[in-house]
Amino acid sequence: MNSPYALELKDVRKSFGKTEIIRGASLAVKPGERVAIIGPNGAGKSTLFHLVSGRFGLTSGEILLNGERIDGQAPYEIYRRGLARSFQVSNLFNRLSVFENIRCAVLWTMGYRYAFWKFLAALDDANDRAEEVLEMIKLDKKRDVLAMNLTYAEQRALEIGITIAGGGNVILLDEPTAGMSKSETKRFIQLIREVTEGRTLLTVEHDMGVVFGLADKIAVLVYGEVIAFDTPEAVRANPRVQEAYLGSVLAEQQAATAEH
Ligand SMILES: Nc1ncnc2c1ncn2[C@@H]1O[C@H](COP(=O)(O)OP(=O)(O)OP(=O)(O)O)[C@@H](O)[C@H]1O
């Protein structure tokens, strides 16, 4: 089905027990857009990611990927359809090399896990693709290093490599720069920009520096509702957003910067 949107959420609701956490969230993301989801603690950002990636089922509403419904599907089905979510660092194969980690991800997405002969035939393709990904995440010089021996920032880069290895066109990254120093963060934003070029990106992010450095559009989630979805400039100037969230966050960050 032709759709102008890579990802669309229509009146999505999610309750845990009697508590409604996502209260009719709607969002329409165009192909190639980079979107940051921001909002106060407990607003439902992670829950929204879990709903999109299929880890949680919806209470009601619809989620469409490239115009086709994906709500109700298993995470691996959604992944095969082109939506990839970053794995946690702990999901890296620590005792495999950087190259082998990427190659595993490539082979897995090629669907050759069990058929041995097909697996052998696919190895060349997988190696080529793994090389390509290694260069993109700038870890080609560390190809033979075990994942456990990488720096934290390199592990996060490897995690992104694994996420994009399957060629998904919609990428979800949950706080990709969390725990990094300022200079690492700056370099990492640039890496994310390059790696996701031409793809649709959704991030959950608390760091406003990252948000304004990376996002074409910002979605503000407050109490399970998207109260604004617009360019960074428009969101910054939106009085409702100022009142509900951004005013206090920006004031805090300015105060923190002034202290240093
Ligand atoms: N599996 C669950 N069962 C019950 N309640 C849950 C579950 N997962 C999340 N919640 C509740 O849903 C609300 C939203 O949580 P969520 O983690 O999605 O928020 P968030 O915006 O990502 O927060 P933060 O910015 O602090 O990470 C919280 O009140 C949380 O306690």
Distance from the alpha carbon of residue 46 to the mean position of ligand 1, in angstroms: 7
Site residues for ligand 1, CB cut-off 6 Å: 16, 21, 39, 41-47
Atom of ligand 1 nearest to the CA of 47: 18
- Whether residue 38 contacts residue 218, with contact meaning beta carbons closer than 8 Å, is answered with yes
Q: Which of 21, 59, 205, 208 to mutate to test the pocket of ligand 1 (most atoms within 8 A of CB)?
A: 21
| Structural domains present in the chain | 1-82+202-260 (3.40.50.300)
Atom of ligand 1 nearest to the CA of 48: 18
Q: What is the pLDDT of residues 149-205, one digit of tens each?
A: 999 999 999 999 999 988 889 999 999 998 899 999 999 999 999 999 999 999 998
Tell me which long-range contacts 54-60 makes (C-beta under 8 A, separation of at least 24).
54/78, 56/14, 58/12, 58/13, 58/14, 59/13, 59/14, 59/15, 59/20, 59/22, 60/11, 60/12, 60/13
What does the alpha-carbon distance between residue 254 and residue 245 come to, in Å, rounded to a whole number?
Answer: 15
Q: Which of 12, 23, 46, 51 to mutate to test the pocket of ligand 1 (most atoms within 8 A of CB)?
A: 46
Q: Is the ipTM of this complex over 0.90?
A: yes
Atom of ligand 1 nearest to the CA of 44: 18
Tokens coding 120:
């052998």
Distance from the alpha carbon of residue 15 to the mean position of ligand 1, in angstroms: 11
Q: Provide the 10 A C-beta neighbour count for residue 19.
A: 8
DSSP state of 227: E
What does the alpha-carbon distance between residue 52 and residue 56 come to, in Å, rounded to a whole number?
Answer: 8
SS (H, E, C) 115-127: CHHHHHHHHHHHH
User: Taking 70 as the threshold, does the pLDDT of residue 142 lie above it?
Assistant: yes
Q: What is the pLDDT of residues 47-106, one digit of tens each?
A: 999 999 999 999 999 999 999 999 999 998 998 899 999 865 567 899 999 999 999 888
Atom of ligand 1 nearest to the CA of 56: 1
User: Taking 80 as the threshold, does the pLDDT of residue 258 lie above it?
Assistant: no
- Whether residue 99 contacts residue 134, with contact meaning beta carbons closer than 8 Å, is answered with yes
